[in-house]
Amino acid sequence: MGIADAQSIVTPSMFYLVGAIFVGGLVNGMLLFFQFVNRFHINPLVVMLIFMMGSEVIVGIGVFLLIPAIIVCIYGWLTIPNRKQQKELHKNAVTTVKEAERVYRLHHVYDVKSEEYATSAWNIIRRVNILYFIGVIAFLLLILYVENFGIVMVGGVIFMMLFYQLTKYKNTALQPIISLLYDQCDPEACASAIFALARKSHKKKNFPLTQQLAQALIYLNDPHLAVDVLVTAPQSRNISIYPYHTLMAYAYYQLGDEGMVKHHYSECEKNKDSRPNSPAAMFCNQALASIQNKIDIMDQDFSKAKAFYEQTLETSPLQFQLVDAHYYLGLIAFVEHDLYEAERHFVYVQEHGNKMYFKNKTESFIETIQSVKEHE
């Protein structure tokens, strides 16, 4: 075989290999960069400046750390804790949006009127997505065809500002759906609106507003479906991991599985931010306190549980959390034979609980208390 023949074989192979390494390094560099951004909660404008001025460095680091990253990913995948348990959860879970809605309709009321909230939200989300796409195309064209670095920088800053405002507008469009649970204590309407929004946005596996849907299911006393919804959702490594563990612990508390409640406490603790005053550390501490509260109730340490709920009454502005706290304070008072205190909390649940399952639960307690009071 001659030199020319060897070059014709080697050169294309080397070309594809270099291209693969470059693309892999680019992807790895971007992933490492966003992990760094999430870890230290860097301002979006600073992120944009770093990306524009140091993109070559990011790619270089990605290429340099490509093989170690692959090794770490394989090792992490092979040694993931509770891997067998996670497989069982996924195997037994309701794994599609359509199936979750079907199961929901079997056990709960689907509120057709709430679809108007989903329609309104989807109309805004669709417009925002179109503007996102136009903005990205415009910014890419600016980078490709404008050589003046100052103009590109100004364009990048404007793009980031508009992106932030559009995201804020998009989130505001979802607030009426969230308010159905948080302020009106109507988990049926909230869950129904989220199912309707999932259909309109053509979701197959993952729900919009996964956290709020799981909360609605918990307050409809359906922890099994809440776990299914949470397990099938993609898990991130930012502060949204804390609500995930909090809700999973609440659902397993309802199922009476203290082992899984403690498991989510430990998993939440592993993700704790080392900086004590950071926003992530604050969210983590709140999640740990909430999960510990469930453990205290299961261990019948009512003094700690009572202190937790009394603090909730003082600090929470959300009606559904107040109803939650009054319900458990009423249960604690009832167990401790303080019937007048229990009745006060249960009456609050009756007046404000709307369609939360707590309201039906408190009816029998109030009847028992009134019966006792009549015989005194």
Determine the residue type at 289: A
Residue for token digits 């197959």? 204
Is pLDDT of 92 > 60? no
Cα–Cα distance for residue pair 207/225, rounded to 1 Å: 13
Residue 78 in tokens: 């092979």
Cα–Cα distance for residue pair 40/25, rounded to 1 Å: 22
Residue 97 in tokens: 């949006």
Q: What is the pLDDT of residues 354-375, one digit of tens each?
A: 999 999 999 999 999 988 877 7
pLDDT of residue 157: 75
Least confident of 30-44, 80-94, 244-258, 351-365: 80-94
Q: What is the pLDDT of residues 138-160, one digit of tens each?
A: 877 887 787 777 787 777 778 77
- 230: nearest Cα among 107, 95, 83, 358: 95
Under the banding of pLDDT at 50, 70 and 90, the label for residue 161 is: confident
Residue 95 in tokens: 């794994």
- What residues contact 36, with CB distance under 8 A and at least 6 apart? 42
Cα–Cα distance for residue pair 65/29, rounded to 1 Å: 8
Cα–Cα distance for residue pair 267/91, rounded to 1 Å: 21
- 207: nearest Cα among 98, 121, 88, 117: 98
pLDDT of residue 6: 47
Determine the residue type at 316: S
Least confident of 66-75, 77-86, 124-133: 77-86
pLDDT of residue 205: 78
pLDDT of residue 372: 83
Q: What is the pLDDT of residues 266-277, one digit of tens each?
A: 988 887 766 666
Average pLDDT, the chain: 84
Mean pLDDT of 254-259: 94
Cα–Cα distance for residue pair 350/343, rounded to 1 Å: 10
Residue 135 in tokens: 């903005």
Residue 48 in tokens: 């944009």
pLDDT of residue 1: 47
Which among 14-23, 85-94, 214-223 has the top mean pLDDT? 214-223
Cα–Cα distance for residue pair 66/77, rounded to 1 Å: 17
pLDDT of residue 42: 62
pLDDT of residue 7: 47
Under the banding of pLDDT at 50, 70 and 90, the label for residue 103 is: very high
Under the banding of pLDDT at 50, 70 and 90, the label for residue 206 is: confident
pLDDT of residue 361: 93
Under the banding of pLDDT at 50, 70 and 90, the label for residue 63 is: confident
Is pLDDT of 193 > 90? yes
195 within 8 A of 104, measured Cβ to Cβ: yes
pLDDT of residue 70: 83
- 164: nearest Cα among 43, 252, 330, 283: 43
Under the banding of pLDDT at 50, 70 and 90, the label for residue 318 is: very high
pLDDT of residue 78: 73
Cα–Cα distance for residue pair 305/36, rounded to 1 Å: 37
Domain ranges for the chain: 1-79, 300-376
Is pLDDT of 212 > 90? yes
Instruction: Write down the H helix ranges in 79-114.
Output: 83-92, 97-107
Is pLDDT of 53 > 70? no
Is pLDDT of 4 > 60? no
Residues in the chain: 376
Cα–Cα distance for residue pair 144/157, rounded to 1 Å: 17
Instruction: Write down the H helix ranges in 233-376.
Output: 241-254, 258-270, 279-298, 302-315, 319-335, 339-352, 357-374
Mean pLDDT of 45-56: 65
